[in-house]
Amino acid sequence: MGKATDKELIVNGRRLDGREPYHMREIKMSVDEISSANGSAKVSFGKTTAYASVHGPRSLFPKFLQESDTGILRCRYNMAPFSVDDRKSPGPDRRSVEISKVIRRAFEPVLFLEDYPKSTVDSFIEIVEADGSTRVTGINALSMALASAGIPMKDLVAACSVGKISDTLIVDLNGVEDNNSESDVGVAMMPQKDIVTLLQMDGILTKEELVMLLNLARESCKKIYQIQKQTLMEKYRGAE
């Protein structure tokens, strides 16, 4: 996926879209976007937009999937055919199956599924516009959707991507940067507990660089958490 570029990605300490290395793109969040779902959210990081919806806890069939002592979480990450420049062939592929799985694993330690034995929480992440960092955008959206669906959770989950381009460490990679980076790292964490729930790395980094990137990711996740919190609070605080 994606194209290589010959352009210099960082010029005079500025990235192609004019950001400084540690700056995130413009973040937009909203909840309750899908009325048929129990909870839903929409999150955009610049040109990347993800919708997440949560249905359930609801009864789980076929019956052999049921766990008598706990509920299960099912996750589907999907990119719309029109989300990228070249049409993506619709339906699940190897990449989206893997991402669905890591997203599920990122949320399983956060949810109190044991409160809902024999049932399932079905969650769907739909990427309608992709410009890098889609999985972390999806995670941010799903976290808010789960909270607004009233699913018991230890904490919200905030996620962001960090990486390295021409020996510069950067935060929140966009599409071009994603395709041409020396390394990129996706991080999801519980911001109030300081526990990492997803950590993926691609490319080559030194140990010191990875530690620095993780610290950067942590700071960014906390910033993202503040926006998530504000969005949920505003929606539900009440008073007109």
Partner 1 sequence: MKAREVVLPGDMLDERKGRKLGNGVYEEDGKVFSKLLGIPRISENELAVIPMYGTYLPKMGDRVVAVIESVEISGWFVDINSAYTAFLPVSEGVEEFVDMQRSDLTRFFDVGDIIYCRLSRVTKQKTVQASMRDFESRKLRNGIIIKVTPTRVPRIIGKEGSMISMIKASTKCDIIVGQNGVIWIRGDTKDKAIEAIITIEKESHTMGLTEKIEKMLGEVNGQGD
Binding site for partner 1 (CB under 8 A): 38-39, 56-60, 68-69, 71, 112, 115-120, 147-156, 190-193, 229, 232-233, 236-240
User: Quick one: 5 or 59, whose CB is closer to partner 1?
Assistant: 59
Checking phi first, is residue 113 left (phi over 0); if not, alpha (psi -120 to 50) or beta?
alpha
Smallest distance from partner 1 to CB 227, Å? 13
Smallest distance from partner 1 to CB 161, Å? 22
Smallest distance from partner 1 to CB 171, Å? 23
User: Quick one: 32 or 182, whose CB is closer to partner 1?
Assistant: 32
What are 9's two structure tokens? 């990605």
- CB-CB contact of 22 with 171 (8 Å): yes
- CB-CB contact of 146 with 107 (8 Å): yes
Burial zone of 195 (CB within 10 Å; 0-12 exposed, 13-18 middle, 19+ buried): middle
User: Quick one: 151 or 170, whose CB is closer to partner 1?
Assistant: 151
User: Quick one: 29 or 173, whose CB is closer to partner 1?
Assistant: 29
Q: Considering only CA atoms, which of 141, 149, 143, 162 is closest in space to residue 216? A: 162
- CB-CB contact of 186 with 39 (8 Å): no
User: Quick one: 143 or 174, whose CB is closer to partner 1?
Assistant: 143
- How many of the other CB atoms lie within 10 Å of CB of 59? 10
3-state secondary structure of 200: strand
Smallest distance from partner 1 to CB 31, Å? 10
Smallest distance from partner 1 to CB 133, Å? 23
